[in-house]
């Protein structure tokens, strides 16, 4: 929470039109709204897909409410040719367009950059795709789970599903792409400040996933040695019906250079009454771990070494003898990084979360008070705050039409024809 400075956000004079559904780019819009931008979200007549996930009432849901707070909402049927003047007016009005529809729909609906630049050459047009703008699959649609698998990131982070892994939740590539896209928009706005030029900006789920996988998707000299053999070994394990966890464990033993550290010092442990997270990744911290626990330091941190595997088992047995609170007190006193392992509803009430306003309470006019994540950053001299709840379906259509230059008679005709919809629909 800011304590001094401007009552307006850094982006208070920036106008954004959001033509996107689901999570990735709507999360970008959420972040930019939290920095003060006026974000107008354009929904189809059936509503954003998230309005129908975890429903609360008709056209209102938990998913939509937490992904889209602080925006204004309008309804436009992009499939109708009569909607073209509305889209053009929005592009002329906006500083930024956030666009995330199927690639082959962009030109069809007149929302592609080639058209948008003729309306407003100063526009920042962020085009989001699943797999990137180039390549053989550039036009393919995609969701987070598909990119988890394709990027290699899923192999490391997915949970066991027996013979096959379960996709990681929440959709880490979706929400991380929101951050990437917001960062890209700010950079493009800076470029426009310097040059006066708008431009197209491309982001993708796959690009985000590959960036998140930076420590693990690598290639160094000599890495190819033994990979053919490893592939054959994994193929044999699959053929034998070996489950995903054992396949990944085999991979880690063969490939992961720091696997021992993750087995012992940087992990979660079962305690006598729950779970605890520990996270040391430096020689000095390794020494503290052994001093605090009384466990001997290993001669080697090799997951293939029988002595090291026994040490890991001894550590697991030791942590299980004392409560989480007891271990937290002991480890913190000894200077070893640690923390509670919260369930989602417990995280809502974590004192550290509350002290930093990482969760906020919002009042929705339809279903009342709800709690959602706050802004993940703060500024000394400007505001970063979720400005309000998610919009009701079509809540701001009529007001926005007037702001972008659509007169009352034309607005009424568009409503009558079903091209746009107001909050009464």
Cβ pair 348, 371 in contact under 8 A = yes
Is 6 a residue whose pLDDT tops 50?
no
Please state the three-class secondary structure of 387-404 as a single string: CCCCCCCCCCHHHHHHHC
Per-residue confidence (pLDDT) for residue 415, from 0 to 100: 96
Distance CA 114, CA 117 (A): 6
Q: Are 48 and 70 in contact (CB under 8 A)?
A: no
What is the average per-residue pLDDT within 342-346? Answer: 93
136 pLDDT higher than 70: yes
CA of residue 50 relative to chain centroid, distance? 15
Taking residues 92-117, report their average pLDDT.
95
* pLDDT(111) > 70: yes
Q: Which of 162-176, 223-237, 280-294 has the highest mean pLDDT?
A: 280-294
Q: Residue 128 pairs with which residues in a beta bridge?
A: 203
Q: Which residue has the higher pLDDT, 392 or 248?
A: 392
pLDDT at position 299: 86
By residue count, the chain amounts to 425
Classify the C-alpha dihedral 31-32-35-36 as positive or negative.
Answer: negative
pLDDT at 258: 58
Could you please report the per-residue DSSP string of 121-184? Answer: TT-EEEEEESS-SSSTTTT----HHHHHHHHSHHHHHPBP-TTSPBPPSS-HHHHHHHHHHHHH
Which H helix or E strand runs over 204?
strand 199-204
Per residue in 358-399, pLDDT tens? 999 999 999 999 999 999 999 999 999 999 999 999 999 999
Domains along the sequence of the chain with CATH: 15-212+356-421 (3.40.50.10540), 258-343 (3.30.1540.10)
**Do residues 114 and 107 lie in contact, with contact meaning Cβ atoms separated by under 8 Å?**
yes
Residues with Cβ within 8 Å of 152's Cβ and at least 6 positions away in sequence, in order, are: 213, 216, 217
Q: CB-side exposure of 19: number of CA atoms within 13 Å?
A: 30
Question: What local confidence, expressed as pLDDT, does residue 257 receive?
Answer: 56
199 has a pLDDT exceeding 60:
yes
Q: Has residue 1 got a pLDDT over 70?
A: no
pLDDT grade, residue 7 (50/70/90)? very low
Average of per-residue pLDDT across 59-65? 96
Summarize the confidence of residues 45-72 as an average pLDDT.
96
Residue 256 pLDDT > 70: no
Q: What is the mean pLDDT of the chain?
A: 92
Confidence of residue 314 (pLDDT cuts 50, 70, 90): very high
Cβ proximity of 22 and 49 under 8 Å? yes
Q: Is the dihedral of CA 384, 389, 168, 210 positive or negative?
A: negative
């Amino acid at each position: 929470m800011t304590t001094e400075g401007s009552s307006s956000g850094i982006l208070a004079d920036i106008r954004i039109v959001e033509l996107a559904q689901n999570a990735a780019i709507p999360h970008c819009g959420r972040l930019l709204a939290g920095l003060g931008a006026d974000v107008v979200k354009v929904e189809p007549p059936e509503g954003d897909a998230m309005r129908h996930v975890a429903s609360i009432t008709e056209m209102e849901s938990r998913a939509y409410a937490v992904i889209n707070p602080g925006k204004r909402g309008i309804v436009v049927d992009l499939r109708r040719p009569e909607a073209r003047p509305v889209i053009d007016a929005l592009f002329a009005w906006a500083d930024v367009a956030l666009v995330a529809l199927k690639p082959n729909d962009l030109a069809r609906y007149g929302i592609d950059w080639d058209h948008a630049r003729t309306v407003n050459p100063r526009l920042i047009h962020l085009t989001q795709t699943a797999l990137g703008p180039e390549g053989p699959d550039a036009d393919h649609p995609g969701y987070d789970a598909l990119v988890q698998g394709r990027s290699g990131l899923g192999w490391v982070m997915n949970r066991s599903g027996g013979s096959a892994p379960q996709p990681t939740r929440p959709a880490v590539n979706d929400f991380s792409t929101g951050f990437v896209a917001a960062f890209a928009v700010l950079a493009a706005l800076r470029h426009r400040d310097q040059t006066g030029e708008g431009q197209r900006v491309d982001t993708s789920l796959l690009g985000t996933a590959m960036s998140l996988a930076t420590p693990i998707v690598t290639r160094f000299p000599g890495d190819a040695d033994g990979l053919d053999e490893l592939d054959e070994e994994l193929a044999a394990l699959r053929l034998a019906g070996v489950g995903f966890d054992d396949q990944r464990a085999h991979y880690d033993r063969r490939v992961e250079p720091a696997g021992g550290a993750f087995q012992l010092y940087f992990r979660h442990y079962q305690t006598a009454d729950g779970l605890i997270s520990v996270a040391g990744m430096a020689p000095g911290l390794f020494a503290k771990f052994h001093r605090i626990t009384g466990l001997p330091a290993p001669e080697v941190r090799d997951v293939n070494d029988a002595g090291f595997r026994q040490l890991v088992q001894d550590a697991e047995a030791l942590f299980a003898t004392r409560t989480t609170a007891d271990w937290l007190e002991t480890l913190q006193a000894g200077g070893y990084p640690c923390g509670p392992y919260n369930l989602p509803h417990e995280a809502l009430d974590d004192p550290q979360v509350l002290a930093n306003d990482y969760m906020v309470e919002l009042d929705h006019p339809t279903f009342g008070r709800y709690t959602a994540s706050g802004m993940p950053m703060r500024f000394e001299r400007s505001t970063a705050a979720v400005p309000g709840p998610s919009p009701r379906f079509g809540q701001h259509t009529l007001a926005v039409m007037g702001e972008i230059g659509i007169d009352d008679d034309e607005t009424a005709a568009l409503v009558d024809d079903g091209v746009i919809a107001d909050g009464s629909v």
